Amino acid sequence: MQDLTSEILELVRLTSTDLPPDVEAALREATQAEEPGSAARNALDTILMNVELSRRNSTPICQDTGTPIFFVRYPEGWSTRQLRAQIENAVAEATRKAYLRPNAVDSLSGKNSGNNLGDDHFPTVHFEEVEGEALTIELILKGGGCENVGAQYSLPNAALGAGRDLAGVRKVVLDAVHKAQGQGCAPGILGVAVGGDRGTSYLASKEALLRRLDQPSDDPELAELEQRLTQEANQLEIGPMGFGGKTTVLATKMTSLHRLPASFFVTISYMCWAYRRRKMTLRNGQVSYE
Amino acid sequence: MNKIQLPFDDQTILALKVGDPLYLSGVMVTGRDTVHKWMVDTFIKKTRPPAGDDLQVYQAIQPLLAGSCIYHCGPVVSGLDTQEYRFVAAGPTTSSREEPYQGDVMRHFKIQGVIGKGGMGPKTLQACAEVPGVYLHAIGGAASLIAQTVKRVLGVYKLEFGVPEAMWVIEVEDFPVVVTMDAHGNSLHAEVAQRSKAVLDELLAKA
Ligand code: SF4
């Protein structure tokens, strides 16, 4: 089996220091909506300067380099145990090189492990065997500020008047955006999962964030709701950093899962503007990044 | 754009109002969750006796904090092995977690500027009016850019709390912030929360 440690290290470096082009373009577009000289406009201008600087100097876009969440899709014949070891080596090396901040804290002792390695869930690695020859590794770095404002609702929700349908889903998502203000470094991106159990719903809401910003849901009903939610969230005028302004949410990514008859969960993973997600593909012995 | 040399004086603080963009230069100290709890437990509420180097650290940080800023930040720092520290990434962390402590910490140490993101609540706003002080919002996530304004790392205390949680004494030049809570009881965060709540209620009333 091929050793991919240095290729994965490059994936981590790229993810931490070089914001994906679709996210940067969306931020640039957002600046146009804000009044020149306003706090919101200044915030976005500063964010974009920071993005350029990080790329140029190969330094972390944000100091909270978050939980490294890997999604590995591998063809038959690979050892997930070895892949996991390579990922862990790459993460520890990336921490030494200051691409990542030491972020893994023992919940009982409070001790920081110093190298971003913890138990079986830090870093988080999801494996899936797939057909074909290509191996892909996608990485999201998800910071604590935005992770803390993620939310899960169990419908019906009487306080919000939200029933067990997409109209109810819309209401709780808007509520979550309102509650997140000031805390998730807006403008953000919403990953929303409808259904599942509490665990699968959170996972699916994160997986939804792997889609490009301009890629709507395959389901026409969800695609329409994605658009509407982004638009309505922006009517709240919470604005960049919560300073007030036109852009609160850059995009909404929805997905749905089967659920139990008794359960109807809606899970929102809020991603901050520092939407660090990258992908590497190994095909015919060649590695490429996007 | 206002350039400010730290430490503050009362007159400068009282002249600041919500919405003012500022560039800060001078010496400040980072501190977040563990530091705030340590300060309150050890020196303010005194629920635990000082241990180890607590008292020396207390004496060292007092003059640094008086009239200056505490920055809610857990930085990425290079040079940990050689102790030639350099800030690599240093954006603000969410301030609301310090709301239970911040007011008391401001009063105790005479801190006049609290830097972070997301704003804080009524207890801190009250302390801003008393001390007097302001809450300064840095741009969340602008970590590389802010790290560039950190000219020197003058020292570090309580490194055993971990790199993000330690108290880093830094000298900054033209650190960009916006006043979002002033010494006159105004909070941009409270305003935006109120306005957006009204819109949310309208949206929730629609099918
Ligand atoms: S919410 Fe995102 S941009 Fe803000 S501090 Fe956390 S990781 Fe950085």
Instruction: Give the per-residue pLDDT at B1.
Output: 56
> Is B142 close to A243, i.e. CB distance below 8 A?
no
Alpha-carbon A30 to chain mean position = 19
A145 interfacial to chain B (CB closer than 8 Å): yes
Q: Looking at the domain assignment, is residue A30 inside a domain?
A: no
DSSP label at residue A108:
T
Three-state DSSP at A152 gives strand
Whether residues A83 and A187 fall in one domain: no
Q: Looking at the domain assignment, is residue A97 inside a domain?
A: yes
Q: List CB contacts (< 8 A) between B139 and chain A.
A: 43, 46-47, 50, 241
Whether residues A11 and A110 fall in one domain: yes
* pLDDT band at residue B81 using 50, 70 and 90 as cut-offs: confident
For range B11-30, the mean pLDDT: 96
For range B46-66, the mean pLDDT: 96
Whether residues A137 and A69 fall in one domain: yes
Q: Looking at the domain assignment, is residue A41 inside a domain?
A: no
Whether residues A190 and A137 fall in one domain: no
- With a Cβ cut-off of 6 Å, ligand 1 is lined by A 62, 64, 66, 143-146, 184-185, 272, 274; B 91, 140-141
Q: List alpha helices for A140-219, DSSP H.
A: 144-147, 166-179, 198-207
The token pair that represents A180 in the structure block: 């997140």
The token pair that represents A14 in the structure block: 């790229």
- Distance (Å, whole) CA A187 – CA A173: 15
What is the residue range of A73's domain? 5-15+61-143+276-289
**Contact (Cβ atoms closer than 8 angstroms) between residue A17 and residue A99:** yes
Residue A200 zone, left/alpha/beta (φ > 0; ψ -120 to 50; rest): alpha
Task: Please give the C-alpha separations between residue B194 and each of A170, A236, B201, in angstroms, as whole numbers.
Answer: 21, 10, 11
What is the residue range of B152's domain? 2-206
- Distance (Å, whole) CA A177 – CA A206: 16
Whether residues A159 and A284 fall in one domain: no
Whether residues A202 and A97 fall in one domain: no
- Distance (Å, whole) CA A114 – CA A105: 8
Ligand 1 probe mutation, A15, A146, A241, most atoms within 8 A of CB: A146
* pLDDT band at residue B89 using 50, 70 and 90 as cut-offs: confident
User: How many domains does one find in chain A?
Assistant: 2
The token pair that represents A186 in the structure block: 């807006």
Alpha-carbon distance B186 to nearest alpha carbon in chain A (angstroms): 14
Q: Looking at the domain assignment, is residue A47 inside a domain?
A: no
Residue B67 zone, left/alpha/beta (φ > 0; ψ -120 to 50; rest): left
Nearest neighbour of B91 by CB, restricted to A63, A110, A238 = A63
Three-state SS string over A8-42 comes to: HHHHHHHHHHCCCHHHHHHHHHHHHHCCCCCHHHH
Instruction: Give the per-residue pLDDT at A7.
Output: 98
Sheet holding A188-194, edge to edge: A151-154, A265-271, A188-194, A249-256
A 10 A CB-CB count for A222 gives 21
Res. B116: pLDDT tops 70 = yes
List the end-to-end C-alpha distance of chain A, in Å, as a whole number: 23
* pLDDT band at residue B207 using 50, 70 and 90 as cut-offs: confident
User: How many domains does one find in chain B?
Assistant: 1
**Contact (Cβ atoms closer than 8 angstroms) between residue A90 and residue A127:** no
Whether residues A167 and A252 fall in one domain: yes
Closest-CA residue to B140 (of B117, B109, B166, B106): B117
Whether residues A177 and A243 fall in one domain: yes
Whether residues A151 and A222 fall in one domain: yes
The token pair that represents A157 in the structure block: 């929700």
For range B96-119, the mean pLDDT: 97
Question: Tokens 């658009």 appear where?
Answer: A227
Three-state DSSP at B97 gives helix
The token pair that represents A70 in the structure block: 């890997």
Q: Looking at the domain assignment, is residue A90 inside a domain?
A: yes
- Percent of chain B at pLDDT exceeding 90: 92
Instruction: Give the per-residue pLDDT at A110.
Output: 87
Q: Which pTM was predicted? A: 0.90
Give the residue ranges of chain A where pLDDT is below 70: none
Q: Whose CA is nearest to atom 8 of ligand 1?
A: B141
**Contact (Cβ atoms closer than 8 angstroms) between residue A54 and residue A61:** yes
> Is A145 close to B140, i.e. CB distance below 8 A?
yes
The token pair that represents A185 in the structure block: 């470094």
Whether residues A251 and A283 fall in one domain: no
**Contact (Cβ atoms closer than 8 angstroms) between residue A61 and residue A86:** no
- Quote ipTM for the complex: 0.90
- What are the backbone angles phi and psi of residue B202, rounded to the nearest 5°? -60, -45
Instruction: Give the per-residue pLDDT at B193.
Output: 94
Q: List alpha helices for B16-95, DSSP H.
A: 33-39, 54-65
Q: List alpha helices for chain B, DSSP H.
A: 10-15, 33-39, 54-65, 99-109, 122-130, 143-149, 188-205
> Any idea what the CATH number is for the domain that residue B15 is in?
3.20.130.10
Alpha carbon of B144 to ligand 1 centroid (Å): 12
Cis? peptide before B122, omega within 30° of 0: no
Closest-CA residue to B175 (of B144, B138, B206): B138
B79 interfacial to chain A (CB closer than 8 Å): no
Nearest neighbour of B145 by CB, restricted to A50, A242, A243 = A50
